[in-house]
Amino acid sequence: MKPSHAQPGPVMLDVAAYEVTAEEREILQHPLVGGVILFARNYAEPAQLRALTAAIRAARPEVLISVDHEGGRVQRFRNGFTRLPAMRRFGAAWEADVDAAKAGARHAGFVLAAELRAHGVDLSYAPVLDLDYGVSSVIGDRAFHRDPQVATELARAVVAGLGDAGMRAVGKHFPGHGAVEADSHVAIPVDGRVFDAVWAEDIQPFRRLAGELGGVMPAHVIFENIDPRPAGFSPFWLQQVLRGKLGFQGVVFSDDLTMEGASVAGDIVARAEAAHGAGCDMVLVCNRPDFAVQLLDRWRPAVSGDSSARIAALRPRPGSAPADPQTLAGWAPYCAARDSVLALG
């Protein structure tokens, strides 16, 4: 199979370890593949990560290389990278000094993006826009604040910091995961609120930031009094609300289709069909290479040129930060931003 694709496809998958195998190189060349998501198991040290991303790019130049790298407990690369605080720390800082909290959040976004880009990573699934209701163990301190306005302003600062380094932002988990206790990795969360309640609070950060986000990731949450399907499989949520009411123009990513919250849609092909049909541009299949192969073998989606163009537009733009780790480490603006983040703890 020879790579002959000018545009990325609609499937985001992963690789097993520190290097790309011959089989994975062949899979990456499948026309449906559009991205690779990396995990902690793919990281040993900085030079190895740069070699890995270079090998992925050599196998398929147009793919997006992504990672969940938010800060706090969701940070896949640690040794050799700045330890970023959980976003709740910026919410706490807001109570003491609004300007300092926003400056710190922008610095965190910049450091996050500059370090990833210097190692060949294009995109992080950040920031979290869920509200901190104090009930969700899977969201918890990943959320900035309970107040939608505070969450919006701090998220906007992170988005600006990412942009300073040339990286687009991906807001998650639309329309909001913070008010349900169940973890969609292992259960099917159900939220019993009516639409007006969700609109008045949880959707507000997404609405206010819709024009600034490059991507949005919906939640595997069923809002049972609004739509019987999880949000990521719901044309109502993705087309009527996100695209229609909010006017969002960027990429819609599914959350991982191997999670328990996605199981309601059926097997992996049925899940991809449901997510894509609802309005997802790109579907994620993580930690199950057998599912990824099944999907590539059996799925025959109709992929629009507009969707492919949206995905391609997520590739990083020129940023101010140096593109190699050694130069970045001694660059004064990066050092100042890093010191600011580390001071927050």
Task: Please state, in angstroms and rounded to a whole number, the distance separating the CA atoms of residues 190 and 185.
Answer: 13
45: exposed, middle or buried (Cβ count in 10 Å: 0-12, 13-18, 19+): exposed
Q: One of 255, 256, 276, 281 is an active-site residue; which one?
A: 255
Residue with tokens 């919006």: 152
Question: Would you state the structure tokens that stand for residue 143, as one six-digit string?
Answer: 């959320």
Note if 255 is an active site residue. yes
Q: What DSSP element (H or E) covers 13? A: strand 11-13
- Which residues are paired to 223 by β-bridges? 191
Cβ distance 82 to 111 under 8 Å? yes
Q: What DSSP element (H or E) covers 34? A: strand 33-38
**Please, where are the H alpha helices in the chain?**
22-28, 46-59, 88-96, 98-117, 148-164, 195-200, 204-209, 235, 268-278, 289-298, 305-312, 325-329, 332-344
* DSSP secondary structure code for residue 85 in this structure: P
Sorted by sequence, the CB contacts under 8 Å of residue 143 that are 6+ apart come out as 87, 88, 91, 128, 130, 131, 132, 151, 178
- Which residues are paired to 128 by β-bridges? 172
Spacing of C-alpha 193 from chain mean position: 25
Catalytic (active-site) positions: 185, 255
